[in-house]
Structure 1
Amino acid sequence: MNIIPSKKMSLYKPAIFSSLKSFAKKQQQEKGMELIDLSLGSPDIPPHEMLREHMAKLSLLPTSYGYTLAASTQFKESVASYYERVNGVELNPSTEVIQTIGSQEGLVHLPVAFCDPGDIVLTTNPSYVAYDAGIKLAGATSYYIPLDEKRGFVPNLQAIPEEIAQKAKLLIINMPGNPVPTTPSIEYFTEVVEFAKKYNIIVLHDAAYSEFYFTGDRPISFLATPGAKEVGLEINSLSKSFSLAGARVAYIVGNAEMIKIISQLKSNLDFGIFDPIQSTAALALDNAEEITKSLREIFSERHKVLTKGVQELGWEVAPSNGGMFVWAKYPYGLDSVSFTFKVIEEVGVIMVPGTEFGTEGEGYVRLALVQPVEQLEKAIEKLKTFTL
């Protein structure tokens, strides 16, 4: 049988993570090398005990296994309560909250709800890979906003040509970001709202790392900006903030008309999330202050250790007070893919090459804060021995 993939499949390359892992495993088997994996941003800390117990209890109920079709009232009300307590943002749980099967699913499908083939979507370079995946799925065209190092890696809206801004349909931003963990400000979000209103552009802010802040106040919600609900949405996930990555549960909040359109699309795509997961997610949001405080303390220490360590190696680190990653420029004359595999081969530390997130990631690597401090310190010691 001659199996031919669709033409659209040519737009999607295999993710590099499996290649990194298989190469690393080969080095381990051939050399007996100890590996330290700082690649995939999957939390290594288990969910809070109350969440594990709650999900286990509900999973035993024979009534838990039917279709849910959509978010439960409990889940939506917990999201609204969380936003009011934590962000000072009022949400109507009935019309301004929708659930997604993790943020990846929401990010990939959202452009389909609003963009036609040929429409322009504004995103950044570098950026999280799911943004481009969704843009391609919709048949839209990406326009990349520079992340200017001199501006602290904040997306420069002023660098967008007038003719591009006039044609743009959607703007996707992510602060603190992946891979660059830049912290947002009310001044910048105000600029975003004004830009969106001027050009009639829908804004999606990815707030997946909003609970990962290490100094001062928490990052502000985009929806806390005056006028933000008129122009856009915010997506957030329980994967990182509550260590529920495998449970695949997230939500989009904001403009009611936009939420209605996404709901119409999702009603044709899925039948909802397992009820015990929904209920556990609601419990997590209801106890967010208690749960996230301890996680922040752990990740704050990891952030300090890893940032200081790579700086002492002579690497340049993008300034950040939050997020789950360190974005670093290395001082070697190798492209980022070659450098990443060379480091695995020589010292057994696994990172992600910057070009996985866009062409402007050349010369950078992303390191995830997904190992205990002792392992991060060991990774730094290993990197000290790296030579070309």
Structure 2
Amino acid sequence: MYASRMDSLPPYLFARIDEMKAEQQKKGVDIIDLGVGDPDLPTPPHIVAALCKAAQDPENHHYPSYAGMPAYKSAVAGWYKKRFGVTLDAGKEVLALMGSKDGIAHIAEAFVNPGDYVLAPSPGYPVYRTGTLFAEGRVHEMPLLRENNFVPMLADIPKKVAKEAKILYINYPNNPTAAVAPPGFYKEVVDFANEHDIVVVSDNAYSEIAYDGYRAPSFLETKGAMEVGIEMHSLSKTYNMTGWRIGMAVGNAEILAGLGRVKTNVDSGVFNAVQHAAITALSGPQDCVAEACKIYQERRDVLVKGLRSLGFDLPTPKATFYVWLPVKDCMAFSAQLLNDAGIVATPGVGFGASGEGYVRFAITRPVARIQEAIGRMRRMKL
């Protein structure tokens, strides 16, 4: 009944977690969900107000522009200039997305022929793999190991694979490991891409969720990056707008044109009222982002301290709202947490083979719930 390509697609990790969670809730279990990275903080009121106002204008009820409203693309370019010092041509070097997942899922269709390789981090966001499989490409997993600070060793990629690769995905601040890009890494990526004629796709969705004074860079700040790649970004995490589905791809105009050509054939763009709200978010005061980071930092500190008190060895993340915890068996540990303590954590193997031996916690619940989770884990005597 199904097409053969469906055989290569694993069940989407977070959908399965939702099913398992629902099974426990049916039993009356009080679930503490530290699994999926969906902010519990509300979208800032001034952004909601902008949406309401725009939605009342009938002119915004028609089909939107495929590539995005000029005003939205100009706001994105302005934000990139102010935040990263990156100059973008809003007309050619900015493309509106329905969240960064939209662009990540479709980019391979524009550049990957059947049998071509795509280089993807492992562990990594599952859509790098599934987007490649839809394009009938082959995934070469680049292990992210603790001894390498969760950075891929590009020199270890087999020459034959590098020669046949079309796309290289990078993601810092990283999901799920919470690692940040070390100095010099992006220059190494640019050199590798030039050597092998590879399109670089930087997933920078977590750049604004950072702590202790850390400021995440953009890949496009690196000399030569605009010639070899693009960057996907999103308002989802920065402004607590996960359900709004609005983001952007920026960078090399030719690469964006390829992605845009795919998207014009599969969707009809982002609702104009949402784009108006996004303009308000990007162009308005950014205090709301700083305030959210303060809240997340407090939660991070409570969770890290609590886990260390239970005997776990883990670093303190500088960015993202994830904690990457080393364990013996990620599937067994996650199942034990859910079945014995009503705590949802994401098994690392769901992000790729190199995720084995870890679980991911999301600090997207209030401090009191995180403290309760630590208490339950202590009673389990992990």
* TM-score bin (small chain): over 0.9
Among 373, 384, 388, the alignment partner of 2:378 is: 384
1:69 Cα offset (Å): 2.8
Q: Distance in 1 between matches of 2:12 and 2:251?
A: 31
1:179 to 157, 176, 180: 176
Aligned residue number for residue 337 of structure 1: 331
CA distance in 1, matches of 2:2, 2:239: 38
| 1:352 has 2:349 as partner | no
| 1:238 is the counterpart of 2:235 | yes
Aligned counterpart for 1:267 among listed residues 255, 260, 264: 264
Corresponding letter in the other structure for 1:361: G
Give matches, 1:56-75, under 5 Å.
Answer: 56-70=52-66, 71-75=68-72
Is there any run of 5+ residues in structure 1 with no aligned partner, and where? none
5+ residue gaps in structure 2?
none
Aligned residue type for 2:256: I
Shift of residue 387 of structure 1? 4.3
Percent identical pairs in the alignment equals 35
Q: AA paired with 1:90?
A: T
2:39 corresponds, among 27, 40, 43, to 43
Contact 1:284 1:291 in 2 (8 A): no
The equivalent position to 2:301 in structure 1, one of 304, 318, 321, is 304
The answer on whether the counterparts of 1:179 and 1:366 sit within 8 Å (CA) in structure 2 is yes
CA offset digits 1:276-313 (Å, max 9, x no partner)? 10111111111263231111111111112112221222
2:202 to 183, 200, 205: 205
Q: Contact 1:148 / 1:156 at 8 angstroms: preserved in 2?
A: no
Distance 1:256 1:7 in 2: 34
Q: SS where residue 355 of structure 1 aligns?
A: helix
1:34 partner letter:
D
- Distance in 1, Cα, partners of 2:367 & 2:264: 44
* Contact kept in structure 1, 2:145 and 2:354, CA below 8 Å: no
One-letter amino acid of the structure 2 residue matched with residue 356 of structure 1: G
Q: Which residue of 2 aligns with 1:317?
A: 314
Q: Is the 8 A contact 2:214 2:318 kept in 1?
A: no
Distance change (3 Å), C-alpha of 1:288 and 1:353: farther
Q: CA separation in 2, counterparts of 1:7 and 1:236?
A: 32
Of residues 130, 135, 153, the one that matches 1:138 is 135
- Superposition RMSD in Å: 1.5
Shift, 1:165, TM fit:
1.6
Q: Please, which moves more after superposition, 73-82 or 16-25? A: 16-25
Letter paired with 1:154:
V
| Superposition map of 1:116-265 within 5 A | 116-265=113-262
**Displacement after TM superposition at 1:199 (Å):** 1.2
Q: Distance in 2 between matches of 1:101 and 1:273?
A: 6
Tell me the amino acid that sits aligned with residue 251 of structure 2.
G
> Could you give the per-residue CA deviations for residues 168-223 of structure 1, whole angstroms, max 9, x where no partner exists?
11100100111111111341111111111111111011000000110234111000
SS of the residue corresponding to residue 385 of structure 1 reads helix
Is 2:348–2:355's contact at 8 Å kept on the other side of the alignment? yes
Whole-Å Cα distance in 2 between the matches of residues 384 and 263 of structure 1? 51
For 2:342 and 2:209, locate their aligned partners in 1 and report how far apart those are by CA, in whole Å: 27
State the TM-score, normalizing by the size of structure 1: 0.94
Corresponding residue for residue 115 of structure 1: 112
TM-score by length of structure 2 reads: 0.96
Aligned letter for 1:364? Y
**Deviation digits for residues 132-151 of structure 1 (CA, Å, limit 9, x no counterpart):** 01110111111111212112
Identify which of 27, 30, 35 aligns with 1:34. 30
Distance 1:148 1:339 in 2: 20
Contact 2:101/2:127 (CA < 8 Å) preserved in 1? yes
- Alignment counterpart, residue 91 of structure 1, candidates 88, 106, 123: 88
